[in-house]
């Protein structure tokens, strides 16, 4: 009695980890470049007093993407499934953080437009807007 949910037998049409990691491994140089640029950006942000509070974010993102590049290289060269899983996990974290930052930026921009729009409206309404 076979079930439609029975996994295929082992040794069939399988793909090894090296083949799966190849597309990302081919972009590891760009991943490292983005990581280094992100760390440099964080260092420049840290030069200001207010920047010290947020400089850790681009530095953390840079470290994550560089760790992902190193793990994907290990996975592709050695066929290590654990390294592939590590790389994909770090990439997931990188994109989640980037997504949250974009959403925060959008919310701040909407609040900015609403606040300054209300100020402009109030200035025009009261006749205090310079001519």
Any domain includes 123:
no
Tokens of 113: 């437009």
**14-55 confidence digits (pLDDT tens):** 478 888 898 899 999 999 999 999 999 999 999 988 888 899
Residue 9 lies in a domain: no
In which band, very low, low, confident or very high, does the pLDDT at 4 lie, cut at 50, 70 and 90?
A: low
Residue 56 lies in a domain: yes
Q: Is residue 63 part of a domain?
A: yes
pLDDT of 129 above 90: no
3-state class of 28 per DSSP? Answer: helix
- Number of domains forming the structure of the chain: 1
Q: Per-residue pLDDT averaged across 96-111, rounded?
A: 96
pLDDT band at 72 (very low <50, low <70, confident <90, very high): very high
User: In Å, how far from its chain's centre is CA 62?
Assistant: 9
Question: Is residue 104 a part of any domain in this protein?
Answer: no
* 83 within some domain: yes
11: left (phi over 0), alpha (psi -120 to 50) or beta: left
Domain assignment of residue 74, given as a range: 17-94
């Amino acid at each position: 009695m076979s079930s439609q949910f029975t996994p295929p037998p082992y040794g069939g049409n399988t793909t090894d980890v090296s083949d799966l990691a190849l597309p990302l491994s081919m972009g590891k140089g760009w991943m490292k470049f983005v990581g280094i640029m992100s760390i440099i950006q964080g260092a420049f942000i840290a030069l200001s007093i207010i920047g010290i509070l947020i400089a850790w974010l681009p530095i953390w993102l840079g470290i994550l993407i560089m760790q992902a590049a190193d793990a994907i290289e290990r996975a592709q060269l050695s066929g290590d499934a654990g390294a592939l899983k590590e790389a994909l996990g770090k990439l997931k974290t990188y994109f989640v953080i980037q997504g949250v930052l974009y959403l925060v930026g959008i919310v701040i921009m909407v609040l900015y437009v609403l606040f300054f729009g209300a100020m402009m409206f109030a200035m025009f309404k009261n006749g205090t807007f310079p001519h």
